[in-house]
Amino acid sequence: MLEAEPMKPSRVTATRLVPSLAWLLAFALFALLYISLRDVFPHGVGWFFKVIPIALLLQLVVAKGAGRTRNFLIAALVLSGTGDILLSLDGLFIPGLGAFLLAQLTYTALFLTQFRWRVGRLPWAAVILAYALACTLFIIPQTGDLQLVTLVYMIAISLMAISAGFRDDSQFLWVALGALIFMVSDTLIAIDKFVSPFAGSGVAIMATYYIAQLLICVGVIRHGRGPGG
């Protein structure tokens, strides 16, 4: 009796894991809307438009994710959206930073559930560590009373980026690049706030942030680890 061949992912299943063109256009539109008009929105209103792209990512995860992977992504996005709102309000920088710290730890926990040790990924870890060390030496001395808080956050996001590079996924680079771009976005925030404000900081920060979240979420969903994944 012939043994049945292992089932291969169907074209329908593969398509189910890919965002539709309409969804991608909506994400890009609302991201560009906030980035372009962030200085025009009345005080106390901008946060609503800021979180719409994150809300769209949340909708995508709920619709196309599965199992614990979906739960981790939902938690990370809710924490990110909370951080977005808090950072948009006066005097709530530390609570906002705390929300994003929890989001980074949630992403790290997710990536560790998909971890696989590979020597070939060590250069990725070296790049992240070198970048984190350079940022730490450049930024931490400028943060005053927030040196410890900033250092803890830098360690957390570095671990997130390193773990992203060791996911058991042949196309791991998409999520890993998202994690690195997330680091860049947070670095730009720190430079603008603590070192020296620079022209176009808002555009650079939000553009890298939205791209990072998109790459991470879509990359993880496309990984398709199944109901228990």
Q: From CA 67, how far away is CA 134, in angstroms rounded?
A: 38
What per-residue confidence (pLDDT) applies to 222?
86
- Enumerate residues 6+ apart whose C-beta is below 8 A from 215: 174, 175, 177, 178, 181
Measured at the alpha carbon of residue 44, what is the angle toward residues 192 and 27, in degrees to the nearest 5? 75
Please give the model's pTM, rounded to 2 decimal places.
0.89
- Counting Cα atoms < 13 Å in the Cβ hemisphere of 160 gives 28
Q: Where are the beta strands (DSSP E) in 25-74?
A: none
What per-residue confidence (pLDDT) applies to 73?
98
Q: From CA 72, how far away is CA 37, in angstroms rounded?
A: 31
In order along its 229 residues, the chain shows pLDDT tens digits of: 444 444 444 444 445 566 899 999 999 999 999 999 998 888 788 999 999 999 999 999 999 998 999 999 999 999 999 999 999 998 899 999 999 999 999 999 999 999 999 999 999 999 999 999 999 999 999 999 999 999 999 999 999 999 999 999 888 899 999 999 999 999 999 999 999 999 999 999 999 999 999 999 999 998 764 434 5
Domain boundaries, the chain: 18-223
What per-residue confidence (pLDDT) applies to 201?
94
